[in-house]
Amino acid sequence: MMPRRHQITMTPAEIADFLDREKTLVLGVQRPEAPHLTAMWFVRRGSDLLLWTYARSQKAVSARRHGRASVLVESGTTYETLQGLSADCDVEIVEDPDDVLAIGAAIADRYGSAMLSADSADGRAAELRAAGRRRIGLVLHPTRYRTWDHRKLGATTTTTAT
C-alpha cells in the first residue's frame, strides 16, 4: 500500500494549475526577531513566482539581506478539500524600471480592477508607472516544494480544518 504522503503529493502540472487558480500567497522572509509574513498577489511564470513590492519595505530589505524566502499557498475548508503547497525559494531582486513595470503589468492583468482604479487604458498605464517608481520586483525561484491535495484521498468526512 502506498504511503498517504505519496497519495496527496501534487505533480508539477498540478502545482502549475493550483498556482494559476489561487490568488494570494503568504511570503515569508527572515528577520533577526522572527520571520516576516505577508500576503501577496503574484503571477506564475514557468516555475517562478513574480511579485512586486515597495523597495523600502521590510520584505524587500530582508529579501536583499538573505536572498531566500518561503511561500505558502493553500485552499479548502474541510479536510477532504485541503490543497496547498509550501516552497523554499531563492529570491532574485529586479530593479530595472522596465522589468519592474513588466512584473507590475502582469500582476495588474491578473487582478484587473482590484489593483488599478483608472477607467482608461492610458490612465491605468500612468497609474502603473507611478506605482512602479517606488517598487522592485521579486522573482522567486522555488528550490523545494511540499504539496498536499487531500481531494486525492477520496475522503467522505466533513471535519472542518483548523
User: What's residue 126's pLDDT?
Assistant: 73
Task: Please write the tens of the pLDDT for every residue from 4-28.
Answer: 778 899 999 999 999 999 999 999 9
Kindly report the pTM of this predicted structure: 0.85
pLDDT > 90: what percent of the chain? 69
Q: Give 51-100 as a DSSP string.
A: EEEETTSHHHHHHHHH-EEEEEEEE-SBGGG-EEEEEEEEEEEE--HHHH
